[in-house]
Amino acid sequence: MKDIKLSQDQTDRMVSKIKRYFADELDQDIGSFEAEFLIDFFAKEIGPHFYNQALADASRIFVEKAEDASYLVQELEKPSI
């Protein structure tokens, strides 16, 4: 899995949300550097779990759609002698 690359705009929006969360929920002020550090930490340590779950979900959907297509193909079969 490649490292997650975020645009500056994405990073800025996430930093803003993290800072707001810390202020509102934990009554603590953190700086932008600390918030970016948390983003990097979560991306590295927790991100793979969500990535793997997304792959599992995509695989499940792929299998379901392939089965649907298989049934549709079977319906196209013509009677043979």
39-79 pLDDT, tens digit each: 999 999 999 999 999 999 999 999 999 999 998 898 898 98
CB 41 within 8 A of CB 14: no
Residue 30 has pLDDT above 80, yes or no: yes
Top pLDDT among 80 and 35 is at 35
pTM listed for this prediction: 0.70
Residue 34 has pLDDT above 70, yes or no: yes
CB 30 within 8 A of CB 18: yes
Q: What is the pLDDT of residue 4?
A: 74
Instruction: Provide the 3-class DSSP secondary structure of residue 4.
Output: coil
Q: What is the pLDDT of residue 39?
A: 95
Residues shown for the chain: 81
